[in-house]
Each structure stands twice: as C-alpha cells, then as structure tokens.
Amino acid sequence: MDLLRVENICKTYGSGEAAVQALKDVSFSVPKGEFVAVVGESGSGKSTLLNMIGALDTPTAGQVFINGQNTFAMKEKALTIFRRRNIGFIFQAFNLIPELTVEQNIIFPVLLDHQKPNPRYLEELLQVLGLEKRRHHLPNQLSGGQQQRVAIGRALMTRPSLVLADEPTGNLDSQNSSEVLALLKNTARQYEQTVIMITHNPAIAHTADRVFQVADGVLQDLGGCRA
C-alpha cells in the first residue's frame, strides 16, 4: 500500500475573474520510504501542494490519503492529532521557539501531544544530528546549519511516517546545505520515512529517488534521477 495517495486535488483562490487555480487536478502516489523532490518556479503551486498534503489547507476538490486515512474526511480535532502524530514538518525559516533549548525544541511536539518523550530515542537523535554538545543551547547560540538540524530533530521526534520539507536548505550556505540534505536522507532511510521536499536547487533535486515538477498548478512526474 502506498503511504501517500493524492487524488484529483484542485485548489482555487478567489472567485469570478479574480479566481486563481493554484492546483489543477493533481494525482500521484508515493510508497513508503521514498524520497521525492518537488521543483518548479515561484508561484507554480509547490507550497500549496505541500500544504494540501500536510492538511494545513483545504482543497477546493480532491482527497489526500496518508496510511490509508482520508485526511480531509476527518473532523478538526481528529485531524490535528493525526497530523501531529503522522506528519513531520521542516520549514525554511526553522521556526524554533527562541526561549527553549535544543533538547526542549526537539521534544516539544511530543509534549504537545501529552506524551512522554522516549529518552533513548532522544539521545539517538541528538547523536545522529551531531547536537549532543548543543542540547542546552538556545537557538540564538547556534549556527544556521545547527538550527536546521534542530528543526529536523523536532520533525523526527514523533517518529512520523511522512516528512514534509519546504526548502529546508534555502537559508543555508552550500556546505551546510549538503550536510543537512545528507542528514535528512540518512535519517529518513534509517527510520523508514517518506520525504516530500520542495527545492529550487536542481543539484539537490537530482539526489532524490523521484522528482515532481509543478508548473501553473499542474504536476508532472519526471521519474527517478539517481544513477
């Protein structure tokens, strides 16, 4: 069974002559463990698509299934819980809580779900992320690359089956970009997670298992890029 299935998603903003079709009848599926890059020009509909997959926005038409669950058929409370437990979000802007330490930022989604963090898994993540010696630092005491590592740790802490990354290397230099990308791919493989990543960088897209291109709200599957 595919982990993610998108069926005939359409999204229209506005109405009448001012209507803008951000997504036009988009359908695709992604199996468990696949790393997918989504490319396209600014305003093409990439971020809208990611928001639909992550149930952060509601489509005008169509359905999204994650682990066989129709997310848009859920009531708001059930959807919030499902999203928190099954989807990890990584944003370009990091979105760390400035008053919390590295460790506190990483475990925050678990606490938000009224659960107890798994100390063994936390230690494993800190080690994999190279943040053991930074666990008590605040975000403003970290480099951009380190902050993005914290954001990745936060996204992985709930052991989500699906990770959505919106330009996760957009604010990083080339060295940190390469390190963060390698880390994201390795952790996804290690924890058997499916990753959907938006990127403007063709070199980054080329490392994905499969590439989708979005243009004027229409999605095209470009297939695999890895040798």
Query: What pTM, to 2 d.p., does this model score?
Result: 0.89
Residues contacting residue 203 through CB under 8 Å, at least 6 positions apart: none
Rounded mean pLDDT of 125-152?
93
* Secondary structure (3-state) at 6: strand
pLDDT band at 225 (very low <50, low <70, confident <90, very high): low
Per-residue pLDDT tens digits for 94-120? 899 999 999 999 999 999 999 999 999
Report the distance separating Cα 90 and Cα 93, nearest Å. Answer: 9
For residue 172, what pLDDT is reported? Answer: 78
DSSP 160-187: -SEEEEESTTTTS-HHHHHHHHHHHHHH
Q: Where are the domains of the chain?
A: 32-57+85-223
Nearest to 199 by CA among 34, 35, 39: 39
Rounded mean pLDDT of 193-209?
89
Per-residue pLDDT tens digits for 34-73? 999 999 988 899 999 999 999 999 999 999 999 999 999 9
CATH number for the region 32-57+85-223 comes to: 3.40.50.300
